[in-house]
Amino acid sequence: MQALLLIDVQPDFMPNGNLPVPDGDTILPMINQVQSHFDLVVATQDWHPKNHISFANNHSGKKEFDVITIDGLSQTLWPTHCVQNTSGAALHAKLNDQAIEAIFRKGTSVEIDSCSAFYDNAHLKSTGLTGYLKDKGVREIYFCGLAADICVYFSIIDALNEGFKCIVINEAVQALDKDVYHRQQIELRKKGVQFIGVNELINT
């Protein structure tokens, strides 16, 4: 069985959001177009408390995009984004959400960030997504969402380690740093990840 995973399609990651991904809004029509080709659609939301450890304004003397070490893990300090129960943390209003069967929230713990849809950054706590997908008989995950070089990338790494086949829909992701994402694509292809276009998906 194949599943479509929509990662963090939230206003704060779109242009004019608190942590905007360049051209992030261009993925919305693509995601809406492909959903009908899947029997299972699942979404994630970044869902942070306002005092989250990844926010730069919670660290005196630090600025946005500084990188520090917390409990042995590298941590980028982000602009405040996707705070629980704010409009920026909601699923985007232009996202067709009628087919979404389940939503998994991540980054809910104050003390640790969670880029991946599957685990926090230290792999101490599972979101439950692996068990959910395996219970549904999912073997292949198609990835959409934001940002391609951060939450999508780390979700793919965890999905591979959990034994899923991973496919990225090219026009349905955008990267915060396109150079980083280009290097990641080379790495992921070596690991067996496939990258396909929307037309290829629709016509297969």
Q: What angle do CA 167, 13, 50 make, to 5 degrees?
A: 120
Instruction: Name which of 2, 10, 4, 3 is nearest 146 in CA terms.
Output: 10
The answer to whether residue 72 scores a pLDDT higher than 80 is yes
Whether 144 contacts 173, CB under 8 Å: yes
Q: Find out whether 147 and 123 touch, Cβ atoms under 8 Å.
A: no
Q: How far apart are CA 87 and CA 12, in angstroms?
A: 8
Q: Could you give the CA distance from residue 44 to residue 194 in angstroms, rounded to a whole number?
A: 21
CA–CA gap between residue 25 and residue 69 (Å, rounded): 32
Say if residue 147 is preceded by a cis peptide, omega within 30 of 0: yes
Structure-token match 């705070």, residue found = 83
14-42 pLDDT tens trace: 999 999 999 999 999 999 999 999 999 99
- Which pLDDT tens digit goes with each residue over 134-166? 999 999 999 999 999 999 999 999 999 999 999
Least Cα distance to 107 among 132, 135, 131, 76 occurs for 76
- Is the CB of residue 112 less than 8 Å from the CB of residue 120? yes
Question: Residues 158, 121, 188, CA angle at the centre, nearest 5°?
Answer: 35
Task: Please determine, for residue 50, whether its predicted confidence score (pLDDT) is greater than 80.
Answer: yes
List active site positions.
8, 106, 151
pLDDT at 76: 87
